[in-house]
Amino acid sequence: MITKHIAAATLLAALATPALAEGDPEAGEKVFRKCKACHQVGEGAKNRVGPALNGIVGAKVGQAEDFRYSKAFEEKAAEGMVWDDEALAAYLANPRDYIPGNKMSFAGLRKDDDIADVIAYLGTFE
């Protein structure tokens, strides 16, 4: 049963990749407003309830300095997990299911376009 779920997730990620590459950063900035209560990006971004997200696309999980991550995130960091487009998309769609035990209370983004746009927007911040 788990193997079927992994295979389905892998297939879904492979199919979603082109859409993610075509995300609209300007639209993503608007969608990111939902994230601003807990996260910052840009010059002078600081950790809040959630970590600052500059450089998150392509970064290792748990890379924000001076942020106390959940045990679930610490385990993913120890495994070497990276925030590539597919991982970010899965996490943004359903944070609690993708990394069970994480502290993020956000339920997730429901629209694939919103997810792709937020990832494109985050990708503009080194």
List the domain range (segments joined by +) for residue 30: 25-123
Question: What percent of the chain is predicted at pLDDT more than 90?
Answer: 82
Number of folded domains in the chain? Answer: 1
Give me the DSSP letters along 88-107.
HHHHHH-HHHHSTT------
**Other CB atoms within 10 Å distance of the CB of residue 15:** 9
CATH value at residue 96: 1.10.760.10
Q: What is the pLDDT of residue 71?
A: 97
End-to-end distance of the chain based on CA atoms, in angstroms?
Answer: 39
- pLDDT above 60: residue 18: no
pLDDT of 77 above 70 = yes
Q: Does residue 20 register a pLDDT over 90?
A: no
Distance of CA 14 to the CA centre of its chain: 17
Answer yes or no: is 51 within a domain: yes
Both tokens of 75, joined, read 């385990």
Residue 5: pLDDT over 80: no
